[in-house]
Structure 1
C-alpha cells in the first residue's frame, strides 16, 4: 500500500533534501581514500568496492595514482559533480572538505569521524559548522560519528565494519549505535530475514530519525521498519510521523534506557541522553509504534511482520506433536490471543483417523503426539486444523530429530490462506538453507525457540491493535483556555488550582476556604459531615507528612479542635474545608513539561501503591482514544476492574477527564506541572480531591 504523500511532510526547518543521492547514488567519491590496510580511508573504499556496487567510484587522495584498481584523484574539484562523498579524514580537515564538496555541487555526504558534540563544547562547535555548511547547501548529511549505511538492493555497503549481510529483503533498520546496529544485522542474517537498508545515524548532525523514517516510508523496497534508539531531541516528530506511517508499514523500536545510570554513557556516546523511558513508552504506544526489549525480540517481531504480514483476527489455533514448547509459547501470549476449541467437525476428522489409539485429548493447543511423526499423518491433521473456521491463524511446533514439516506447512498455507508461524525446536544451523528460505518465501516465518515464536505472534497482535488505534484515534479537540493572571505566584495553591480545573469543566470536590471560626461554622453548615480539613499553603508540598491534613471529621467538636491545632501551628495560613468522599479508587492524573515531548499527561495509581508502579503516559493534547489507550496501559489493571469489592472504574468517564486535562491551556502562560492527586473514581463518578498547578513563563 502506498503511503499518502500528504502525510509525509518533512519535519525539519531545512528545505527538503534528496536522500536518494545519499542512499541510492550513481557515483561516490571517497575523500581520504588510502592504500594502508586498516586505515579509515582504506576500509571505506574497500567496503564499497567489495560490496558489488555498480556505480562509479572515485578515490580522492593526492598521494596515490591508483587505489584498488581505480584511478585516484587529487581533489573533489578534479572529478566534477558526484552524488555522494564519503569524507574519511580527521575532524579538523572534514569541515574544509565538506565545503569543497558543496562548492562543486555534491548532493550528499557521509562523515564517519567522531570527536564532535559527544566529547564536549569544542567538538560541538565544529559540529555546528558542519551542520551549517550542509544545511545552507541543501546537502544530505549522514553523521557525524557514524559507521555509515547499507543499501542491500544495489549491493552498496559503506560501512566501517563490513560484513556478510542478510539476503535482500524488505526490513530496514535505523540505528543510533553502530555496534548495536551490526548486532541486529547479524541476528537478521542468522534468522533468515531479508534486509533492504541499514542506516547508522551517528550524532544526527543534520538528518535525524524523522528524515530517515520518512525516507523508508516512501521506499518501495521497505515494508517493515526497525530502529535502535538511545534518545533524540526530535522524538515527538518521530512519533507524529510514525502515526501516519503505521497503517501502511509497521515501525518497531528497541529503545535503550531502562536504567537512569546509562544516561551519561549515552551522552558521551552520541551526544544525547536517553530521556524518560516512561514518556517514550507512552508516546510510542499512542502513535502506534511497537517496542522491543532486546535485539532478539526486535528481530523476532520484524521477522513475523515482514514474513507473515497482517492478521485478520486473534483466534489462534496451536498444533504440534510435542506439547512442552507449544504450552510454553501459549503461556507467554497473555491476553493477545484467544485459543478457541476446535469445531466438532475438526474433532470428528481427528477421531476418524486416530480411532482411539493412543487416547488423545482433542483440544487447543492440539498435541497429536506420536501420530504426527510421519509426513502423511502430520499433513492430514494439519490440513484439517488449518481448515477449521474458528481459527484466524496458526502456530505450529516441531522438534529436531523428528519430522521437519516443510512440505506439510506449505500445503496447509496454500490450502487455508491463513497466516502460519512455525517453531522448529533446534539449532539454527539445522534449518539453514533452502528449506527455511522456501517457507519464508511462502509467508511462514520459522523460529527455533518457543519464546521467539511467542514474540512473533505478539508482534502481529500488537500491530493489529496499533493500526486500529491509529485509525480510530479521532481528531484532537481545541484547547480549553483558562485564565490565571489573577494568581500572582507561579505555584498555585490547592484551591487556586481547583478553580482553574473547575473553569475547564472538571469535577472538583466541593470545598470552602476559611480564615476565621465564624467562616468555619458556616462551611460546616453548608457542607455537612463528614469533612476534611487542610492547611492551605504553597509552602507545604506534602500535607500529610507534616500533619497539615485531617480526614473523616464527623462532628463539630473534632472540627474546631482541628481548626485550633492548625491555626496554632500555621497562624498565617488559611484552612481548606472539603466534603469527605468515602470509597472509590484513588487515581493520579498529571501533566508535566517533558524536555523531549513537551506536554505529557500521566496516569498512575494513588494511595500507598503510587510509589510501587510507574505511571502510563501520552503526549498532549490527547484524543479520547489516546486516553483510553493510556488507561489500558496502566499497571496494575486490577485496580481499575473492581479490586477488593470496589466499583469498577468507568474507563470512558476517566478518559473524558484525561482528555480535558490534556487540553487545558493557561492564557499567556504555560503549565510546567499539574498534579491531580488523588482523583477519586466510583464507577462513572469522578472527584478531584487535591490538585497543584505550577505555571511557567
Structure 2
C-alpha cells in the first residue's frame, strides 16, 4: 500500500490498541490480541483493560486516557453500549483508524441504528477511518497484521477479499487454510457505517500485493460511488463479486442481517456490467475465478484448445464452450502436422484433441508443446481421467513444465477422486488452476476472456442530444403545481418534443366534432386515445381506437370510447380524447422504461412491447448515463433481437433510431432527478425509423 494511501493507518498501522483485551481464551478481546502477537506484527501493541497487569507478555493499560497521542489503529472489543464513549476518548488521542467488532447496531432496529449513526458522526468529524461495526476485523498478510477475532489465519497470497458478512469471512478463512489458498488482504466490512465496498476497491486497486479483488455484498448504500470506484479499479485489475439477496427471500434475509435494503437485481446486474465487475453466481464460482486470475495471464482471444485422454469429458467441454463466449479453434496446418508426428494414427487431431486413454505423460507434454506454439490458440485446457495407463503425477509435472513462461493461460481438469488428488496438488502448487469438472474450467476461462475484452474495449462514447431544457423545466413546474404524480399525456408529449423524441402529431379534443376537425388537419388514418389522469393502461381499459380513416369514424369512436368508460369505470374521470397520427403499418413494437433505483439511480430497460415483456420478461438493463456502446448492446441483448433484425423476408428495423431514443431517455433521467419514471410504450419502428406512440412520465 502506498505511503500516502488514505487507509494506510488501517492496513499498515505503526501501533495497534486493543480496547477490551481479555485474559480469558475464547473471549473476543483475547483472540484479537493473540492473533496480533502470533501473526508476526512488528509494530507496537497496546492492550487496554481496567485490571491492568501483563497479558501475553505485554503491559496492559488500565484506560484509554493512558495511551500516547496519535495511535494508528484501535480494535474495540467491547459491548455495543460501551463503544461510543471509548471512540470519543480515542478521538481525543488523535486516533487515525478504528475497527468496531460489536454487533447490535442498525441490524437490530431503530435504537441500534441511532447508535451506529453516532459512531459514524464521531468518525467523520474527527477524521477517523472506521471499519464496522459488526465486523470480524481485517488481515494484511504481507504486513504481518491479523487484527481480527478469526480462528484461522491463511497464508500470504495475491487475492484480496472483502465481505459484508463476518460469518462468511470466518467460514472462508477456515476453508482457505484447508485449500492452501493465500490472501493479500482480508476485510470484514460489517455494517459499513463509514467504510464501504467503494473504499475497499479504491484501496485494493492501488495495492501492489493484490492481483485480483473478490467481494461479497448484500447491499450498497451509494451505488454511484461503487460504480465510479469500480470503473477506475477494473481498468487495472479484475474485480469479482457475488451479490446476495437476489431473490425476495434473500432480500428479506439481507435486510434482517445488516439492516440495509438489498436493492433490485437488475440494477446490480447493470452496475456490475457497466463497471467491469465480474459477477459470480455462487461462492464456489467466486473462488474458482480467484484461482484463475491470481495465477494465469489473460487470454488474448476466445480460441480454446482442449487436450484430453477421454472422449466423454472432451464432449462435455465442447458443449460448455458452445454455451459460452469461447470457441474451439481448429489447429493450424503446421500444428496438425506436428501432432501427427507425436500422436497415434487413431488419435483425434481436431479440437478437442483426443490423445487416447493410454496416453502417458510424454504424450501429453508433446501435444501441449505443439498446441501452445500455435499462434491462434489463446488458451489451453488439459483434461485427464484416471485410466489404467494414466501417469497422474508425471502428467501434472509435464503440464507445469510445458506451460511455464508460455504467455498463455493453461488450465487443467483432473477428473476423479483420490487417484488424481496428488496430480491436482502438484498443479495448484505450481499455479496451474485445476478443476474437478470441465464446466467449471470453461466458466473460469470465459470470465478471463470477458475481462480481457473489457480491458481492451474502445473508449466509451457519450452523446448529449439537442434539447430545450428550459421548456422541459417549465412543463415539470406546471405538473408539480397540479399536485399530481403523473404528467398529463399532453404534458408528457410536449416534454418528449422538447427533447426531440420522434413523437407523432398529437392533439387533445374535448368533443367528437373537435376530434374530427383535428383528424382532418393531421391526416387520416388516425388513432384515438382516452384522455384521463386515472388510467395507467388505456389499451387494457378499452380506451384506444386505431386506424380511423374518416371524420365519421372519428366521431363514432370518440362517443363509443367516452361512453364506454363512463359506464364501466366510475372511478375514471374522462376529459376527452387524444387524436394522434398513426404509426407505420409494418412496424414492430418495442418499449423503453426508466425507473429510479434507490441504490444506483436511473435504471433503463428495453424490450419488445406486449407479451414479450409482460409474459417472457425479455428485458435488458443499464444505468444512466448511457454510452453509445451501452445503447447498442441493450438493443442486441434481448432474446427476441432476431425479430428486430428481420425474419421471413421482413426488412430489419432501424436499430439506430431505437438507440437514439435510449440515449435521449438517459439524458432526460440525468437532467431531471425529480423524474421518477418514464415509459415509452409502444415505440413503433420499421426500416426507416421509429415513432414513440405513447409517453408516460411520473415525478417524485
**Is TM more than 0.5 here?**
yes
Question: C-alpha separation between the residues in 2 aligned to 1:122 and 1:266?
Answer: 19
Contact 1:303 1:445 in 2 (8 A): yes
Provide the residue aligned with 1:12 in structure 2: none
Matched, 1:374 2:360: yes
- Structure 1 residue 336: Cα displacement: 0.8
Provide the residue aligned with 1:575 in structure 2: 577
Provide the residue aligned with 1:9 in structure 2: none
Matched, 1:566 2:570: no
Question: C-alpha separation between the residues in 1 aligned to 2:416 and 2:119?
Answer: 50
Match for residue 142 of structure 2 among 136, 145, 153: 153
Matched, 1:607 2:597: no
Q: Which moved more, 1:402-411 or 1:202-211?
A: 402-411
1:58–1:478 distance in 2 versus 1, CA, 3 Å: farther
Matched, 1:420 2:415: no
SS class of match (1:687): strand
Match for residue 421 of structure 2 among 430, 436, 442: 430
Provide the residue aligned with 1:388 in structure 2: 374
Provide the residue aligned with 2:570 in structure 1: none
**1:401-416 alignment, distance < 5 Å:** 402-404=390-392, 405-414=395-404, 416=406
1:189–1:316 distance in 2 versus 1, CA, 3 Å: farther
Provide the residue aligned with 2:569 in structure 1: none
Matched, 1:102 2:57: no
SS class of match (1:497): helix
SS class of match (1:492): coil
Question: C-alpha separation between the residues in 1 aligned to 2:233 and 2:216?
Answer: 18
Q: Deviations over 1:429-452 (max 9, x none)?
A: 814886224430xxx322222222
- Structure 1 residue 592: Cα displacement: 1.5
Q: Which moved more, 1:459-468 or 1:28-37?
A: 459-468
Higher relative contact order (CA 8 A, sep 6+): 1
SS class of match (1:589): strand
Contact 1:47 1:158 in 2 (8 A): yes
1:221–1:86 distance in 2 versus 1, CA, 3 Å: same
- Structure 1 residue 409: Cα displacement: 2.0
Contact 2:413 2:438 in 1 (8 A): yes
Q: Deviations over 1:208-255 (max 9, x none)?
A: 111111111111111211110100211220111111111111111101
**1:159-308 alignment, distance < 5 Å:** 159-165=148-154, 167-186=155-174, 188-189=176-177, 192-308=180-296
Question: C-alpha separation between the residues in 1 aligned to 2:689 and 2:446?
Answer: 35
Question: C-alpha separation between the residues in 2 aligned to 1:431 and 1:252?
Answer: 29
Provide the residue aligned with 1:13 in structure 2: none
Contact 1:601 1:618 in 2 (8 A): yes
- Structure 1 residue 66: Cα displacement: 1.7
1:109–1:591 distance in 2 versus 1, CA, 3 Å: same
Provide the residue aligned with 1:132 in structure 2: 121
Matched, 1:695 2:699: yes
Matched, 1:591 2:600: no
- Structure 1 residue 113: Cα displacement: 0.2
1:115–1:639 distance in 2 versus 1, CA, 3 Å: farther
- Structure 1 residue 326: Cα displacement: 3.2
Contact 2:400 2:427 in 1 (8 A): no
Q: Which moved more, 1:47-56 or 1:275-284?
A: 47-56
- Structure 1 residue 595: Cα displacement: 1.3
Contact 2:604 2:621 in 1 (8 A): yes
- Structure 1 residue 666: Cα displacement: 9.4
Matched, 1:624 2:628: yes
**1:434-449 alignment, distance < 5 Å:** 435-440=426-431, 444-449=432-437
Contact 1:43 1:160 in 2 (8 A): yes
- Structure 1 residue 556: Cα displacement: 5.8
- Structure 1 residue 150: Cα displacement: 1.2
Question: C-alpha separation between the residues in 2 aligned to 1:669 and 1:355?
Answer: 69
Normalization by structure 2: what TM-score?
0.90
Contact 1:17 1:138 in 2 (8 A): no
Normalization by structure 1: what TM-score?
0.90
Q: Deviations over 1:475-531 (max 9, x none)?
A: 463784233144445412334312211221111234343333333333444455544
SS class of match (1:592): strand
- Structure 1 residue 467: Cα displacement: 2.2
1:494–1:360 distance in 2 versus 1, CA, 3 Å: farther
SS class of match (2:539): helix
Contact 1:319 1:396 in 2 (8 A): yes
Contact 1:170 1:195 in 2 (8 A): yes
Question: C-alpha separation between the residues in 1 aligned to 2:398 and 2:651?
Answer: 51
Unaligned runs of 5+ in 1: 6-15
Contact 1:605 1:613 in 2 (8 A): no
- Structure 1 residue 416: Cα displacement: 4.1
Unaligned runs of 5+ in 2: 567-573
Contact 2:223 2:601 in 1 (8 A): no
Question: C-alpha separation between the residues in 2 aligned to 1:374 and 1:669?
Answer: 66
Matched, 1:321 2:325: no
1:421–1:433 distance in 2 versus 1, CA, 3 Å: closer
Contact 1:184 1:295 in 2 (8 A): no
1:227–1:476 distance in 2 versus 1, CA, 3 Å: farther
